[in-house]
Amino acid sequence: MKILVACLVALSLVAMACGDDNGGDGNGGAGGGPTPRGEPESLVRTDDEPLEYIINTALKRDTYELAELTLYHHVACEDSPEGDDAAPPCREAEDEGDEVEVFRLFGCRETWVRPESLPGVLDELVNRETLELERVYRPTAAVADGPDYVAVFRTSEETASPQSGTAVHVKEGRMWALECGLDLAPLIADERVASDVSFDED
């Protein structure tokens, strides 16, 4: 009887250790990432390899990898920030004026995101059922924060009115900021475009 009990316990431990035989986290995502809510109809090719990689990572809805491609801002925090363009709030262990590492959002519910919160924010903004690349360009001064490139994605069906969008700002080969747009049109307006970046779909 003792041998039988020992065998049953051993089998239970093996089953618990194996868990999901696909190596996922129980939520369908490999390596702990969220399950993609959509799949790209095609990937793209550009003349700029880092830009191309960021765009295709977004199209794959690989939000954990996208978070790894981030170039963070270093900004002084404030104890009681006010306004849409306010500094990031200080945490309990931080003094006002301390420089903190944050990611920048424009037109979204938040303005600044700490690194540990970024994957969840990207899961909401990028991991969308609809995510289609609409325009890639080198921006004019009309685009805040001085990125090198802007890649704009449509995040609603073509029949939606207005169509929504997300703009990824790329600087120094890294993701520098994100813009949220309930209306896609302002994100792809000509006044923001110094020159278009051509891309081919595979």
Backbone angles phi, psi at 201, to 5 degrees: -100, 130
d(CA 76, CA 93): 14
| Buried-state track 64-88, b at ≥16 Cβ within 10 A, e below 16 | bbbbebbbbbeeebbeeeeeeeebb
pLDDT level of residue 33 (50, 70, 90 thresholds): low
**Is the alpha carbon torsion for 70, 179, 135, 163 positive or negative?**
positive
d(CA 176, CA 70): 6
- Which among 156, 162, 168 is positioned nearest to 185, based on CA atoms? 162
Q: Where are the alpha helices (DSSP H) in the chain?
A: 2-18, 49-59, 63-68, 118-125
Which helix (H) or strand (E) covers residue 184, if one does? none
Q: What is the mean pLDDT of residues 92-107?
A: 96
Indicate the DSSP class of residue 41. S
> Per-domain residue ranges for the chain?
1-32, 42-201
Indicate the DSSP class of residue 89. B
State percent of the chain over pLDDT 90.
68
pLDDT at residue number 175: 97
Q: Does the pLDDT value for residue 154 go beyond 90?
A: yes
CATH of 42-201, one of 2.60.120, 3.40.630, 2.60.40, 3.10.450: 3.10.450
Q: Does the pLDDT value for residue 78 go beyond 70?
A: yes
Which range (29-33, 43-47, 185-189) has the least confidence? Answer: 29-33
Q: What is the mean pLDDT of residues 151-168?
A: 94
Q: Does the pLDDT value for residue 161 go beyond 70?
A: yes
Q: What is the mean pLDDT of residues 54-78?
A: 94
pLDDT at residue number 51: 97
pLDDT level of residue 17 (50, 70, 90 thresholds): very low
